């Protein structure tokens, strides 16, 4: 595991993507539907603000549910939003902990001990430990401790809690108490728009032609597309060439 200096976390932690922020999360619509990307981001920002105020002694108003579950297929943006939440709460000067449970085979369930003491806990790929008896028991006890201390918990999975395959009945029941939001995969047109928004944040313009070529020729996942976008930006800076289709072809050896 790799340590990171920021956000402030416990000694055992995973590196956060410094660019995983709410401001550069692409929302494809402005629908007011509760499961639209825009609505999910708005809920998370409000949720974090409320818990940050509670942790600084401001207890005014009714707190939102302390447990939020995001789900969607790989590339839908769940990991981005979990890490964005960590950055956001860290901006309030509070301790956060992000743990990607897809790495559970490199860890032991003891890593969950004491995590109820942080200001907020984010567990990514929580469904990766479904069916693992020791992990399930450790998560069950952690959940109970967090509920007792009202520590906010944000998790991500590929399925809703109702359809995850946790074997421990009491754990499965407790996980269904979350406020649940689904994130939808982007289609190709929205992927292009998302890449153009990210390019703008990086300080360059991504033309429609280059965006279309990138989406049509590169691996389809957003993580792979964004990684290629960063390589393209770096190659442009190194060669002092504009970001064009020929530069992209040269970069990818196409």
pLDDT, tens digit (0-9, with 9 covering 90-100), for 38-76: 999 999 999 998 888 876 666 555 555 789 999 998 888
pLDDT, tens digit (0-9, with 9 covering 90-100), for 173-211: 999 999 999 998 899 999 999 999 999 999 999 999 999
Are 14 and 100 contacting, i.e. CB atoms less than 8 angstroms apart? yes
DSSP-assigned letters across all residues of 158-171 = SS-GGG---S-HHH
The H helix count followed by the E strand count for the chain is 8, 5
Are 32 and 20 contacting, i.e. CB atoms less than 8 angstroms apart? no
Q: Which CATH architecture has domain 188-252?
A: Orthogonal Bundle (1.10)
Q: What is d(CA 72, CA 84) in angstroms, rounded to the nearest whole number? A: 16
CATH of domain 22-182: 3.40.50.300
pLDDT, tens digit (0-9, with 9 covering 90-100), for 104-160: 998 999 999 999 999 999 999 999 999 999 999 999 999 999 999 989 999 999 999
Other C-beta atoms lying within 10 Å of the C-beta of residue 218: 18
Please state the domain extents for the chain.
22-182, 188-252
């Amino acid at each position: 595991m790799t340590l990171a200096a920021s956000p402030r976390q416990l000694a055992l932690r995973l590196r956060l993507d410094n660019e995983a922020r709410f401001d550069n999360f692409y929302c494809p619509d402005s629908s007011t539907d509760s499961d639209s990307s825009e609505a999910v981001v708005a809920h998370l920002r409000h949720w974090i603000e409320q818990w940050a105020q509670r942790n600084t002694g401001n207890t005014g108003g009714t707190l939102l549910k302390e447990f939020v579950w995001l789900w969607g297929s790989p590339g839908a943006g769940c990991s981005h939003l979990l890490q964005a939440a960590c950055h956001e709460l860290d901006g309030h000067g509070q301790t956060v902990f992000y743990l990607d449970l897809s790495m559970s085979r490199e860890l032991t369930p003891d890593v969950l001990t004491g995590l109820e003491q942080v200001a907020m806990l984010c567990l990514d790929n929580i469904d990766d430990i479904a069916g693992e008896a020791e992990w399930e028991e450790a998560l069950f006890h952690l959940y109970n401790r967090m509920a007792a201390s009202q520590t906010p918990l944000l998790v991500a999975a590929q399925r809703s809690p109702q359809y995850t395959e946790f074997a421990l009945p009491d754990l499965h029941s407790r996980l269904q108490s979350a406020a649940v939001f689904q994130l939808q995969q982007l289609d190709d047109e929205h992927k292009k728009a998302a890449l153009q928004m990210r390019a703008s944040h990086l300080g360059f313009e991504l033309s429609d032609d280059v965006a279309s070529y990138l989406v049509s020729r590169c691996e389809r996942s957003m993580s792979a597309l964004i990684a290629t976008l960063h390589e393209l930006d770096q190659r442009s800076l190194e060669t002092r060439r504009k970001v064009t289709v020929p530069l992209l072809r040269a970069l990818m050896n196409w």
